[in-house]
Structure 1
């Protein structure tokens, strides 16, 4: 018996079930996305077109070539071998031989300072000692009355002073320096308890007399005339400290020269 709708009732259409709506939507998408017969194909990727394969092959680089490009470096510039030095002339050979001979027995890197290096000097007294002492026997061709143990600073200064001041003052006739003191660990002016003297550091030397080639001896105590006064004063340009007759009462019979480092510059009295 056919259903009858009462007069005046709302027009209500039957609603489809949700799962049936989803199934219908899926069927619609598949029909739109895939042409007829496409669903029967394999899911494996399709083969590349031949033209694309040939393009990729043309861009490939052999493995050996890749390694060469990664490991190779630009070639270094070739260095031409140094040209051989020309042989020495007979004159140059003689000069070289003389220079080598002049350095025999030299210390402090100066040919005119003769002597020998000795072992470092240590001391139980704080402030005394010499790290690199030398025992000097002559400077600028002038012998010392006794080998002086000093450091190279005083050896070089003494050598320059004798060569440029003392020897010219004696017209080249200076043969020996009388050395009154060199390295000795003591206080200044031999005063007990005083600050360590520069003698205790190997940076001082005392000269009491000058001996000429003819045997004449000029002492600081008895012959402090205009000549000795002039060469003593010139020492201020070579040493950091110069003390002599009239300076402090302790140096009336000798010249004291040292190379101590002084903040206020040279101390010349």
Structure 2
């Protein structure tokens, strides 16, 4: 009995396996779907038709740039202005007129005149050549000396005799520091010269060495005249609060173009002027 029951089960199993193979081969194309409702069928049909029509149309590319802005009221008002009316800014900005040939000739003539009056090969140093200056004392004298009237447009209260090395140092000091020492609106226009070339000993002391003034390598400045007509003296200005700092800056700035600079704090001999010379020292510049 048991053998017959096993045979029957085996047969049923084979039938089920063959039936399962047939079903696997047909899925999922033949898998039954639930029927759509009537409203759903109509909606699906409409969506399909719209998609088909949209596919046949060419969709334009999106606009990437903003639209042109409307013309402003200012531009319209400017365009409506009468032609003969005065122009608005920046059209009314003042501009220099074109230089006339006559003006150019004056400039060239003035420059040529300055060139003829210059010495030491520098147009900013105005004066005349003085040649070799013989000395009355041993050690005095200067070679190829010049008599300077002005440097960088700043006149000297009297022409000063000196060497070109001294004149160039003076011009450098004046152009860089002196002109605007008391303000750009009140420039220095003249230097008060206390001494230039002078064949003598140092501080006029008997038996002392020959001064650099006796070699044309020194100049003494006792004051500065401004555009306003005011003269700032070294003697009084050095103690005056309103001018002391400016004079101190000038004294300090001179210790560069010149190798020896002596001021009111150096000694009693220089309390009323700046002594400036180009003498060389082994220890470097000497400024007191």
State which of 266, 275, 280 in structure 2 corresponds to 1:256: 275
Taking the aligned partners of 2:203 and 2:119, their CA distance within structure 1 comes to 29
Q: TM-score, normalised by structure 1?
A: 0.63
Q: Deviations over 1:110-153 (max 9, x none)?
A: 11111100131112411100111111111110111111000111
Taking the aligned partners of 2:103 and 2:150, their CA distance within structure 1 comes to 29
Q: Deviations over 1:143-196 (max 9, x none)?
A: 111110001111110011011001122334111100000000111111111000
Aligned to 1:212: 226
Q: How does 1:1-269 map to 2 (within 5 A)?
A: 99-172=111-184, 173-224=187-238, 225-269=244-288
Aligned to 2:46: none
| Residues 127, 147 of structure 2: 8 Å contact kept | yes
For the aligned residues, what is the CA RMSD?
2.1
Q: TM-score, normalised by structure 2?
A: 0.59
Taking the aligned partners of 1:198 and 1:241, their CA distance within structure 2 comes to 10
Ranges of 4+ aligned residues in structure 1 off by more than 3 Å: 90-99
| Residues 136, 199 of structure 2: 8 Å contact kept | no
Q: Which runs of 5+ in 1 are unaligned?
A: 1-89
Taking the aligned partners of 1:99 and 1:252, their CA distance within structure 2 comes to 40
Taking the aligned partners of 1:92 and 1:217, their CA distance within structure 2 comes to 36
Taking the aligned partners of 1:158 and 1:123, their CA distance within structure 2 comes to 23
Taking the aligned partners of 1:200 and 1:209, their CA distance within structure 2 comes to 22
Taking the aligned partners of 2:171 and 2:270, their CA distance within structure 1 comes to 22
Task: Please state whether the residue corresponding to 2:197 is helix, strand or coil.
Answer: coil
Taking the aligned partners of 2:136 and 2:231, their CA distance within structure 1 comes to 39
Taking the aligned partners of 1:223 and 1:94, their CA distance within structure 2 comes to 40
| Residues 137, 200 of structure 2: 8 Å contact kept | no
Taking the aligned partners of 1:116 and 1:179, their CA distance within structure 2 comes to 17
Taking the aligned partners of 1:161 and 1:134, their CA distance within structure 2 comes to 18
Taking the aligned partners of 1:264 and 1:96, their CA distance within structure 2 comes to 46
Q: How many residues align?
A: 181
Taking the aligned partners of 1:219 and 1:101, their CA distance within structure 2 comes to 33
